[in-house]
Amino acid sequence: MTTFRNNMRAAAGLFIASLAVATPAAAQEAGTYNGTMKNGDTFQLTVTKATSGALEVTAGLFDFSVAIKCKSNSTTVGPVVGFTLSPPVVIADNKATISFNNGADDYVATKIEFSGSKASGDVTAAFAAFAAYTGHPTKAVYCPQVKEDFTAVLAKAVRGAAVPVPKLLFY
Partner 1 sequence: MHPMLRTLSVPAAAAFAAALLSPTQAAAQEAGTYNGTLANGYPISLTVAPAATKGEFQVTQTIIEYKSDACTPGKTTWTGYVGFGPNAVISNSSKKVTLSYSSIEFYFSGYAKFNGATATGAAVSYVPVFAAAKGAPTSSVFCAAKLQKFTAKLGAPSPIDTSHGAKHAIY
Binding stretches for partner 1 (CB under 8 A): 1-5, 7, 75, 77, 99, 101-105, 107, 109, 124, 126, 128-130, 133-134, 136-143, 168, 170-171
* Cα–Cα distance, 98 to 101 (Å, whole number): 10
Q: Which is nearer to partner 1, 20 or 131 (CB)?
A: 131
What minimum distance in Å lies between the beta carbon of 171 and partner 1? 7
Least gap, CB of 54 to partner 1 (angstroms): 25
In angstroms, what is the minimal distance from the CB of 76 to partner 1? 9
Q: Give the Cα separation of 108 and 101 in Å (integer).
A: 7
53 vs 135 by CB, closer to partner 1:
135
Provide, rounded to whole angstroms, the least separation between the CB of residue 105 and partner 1. 5
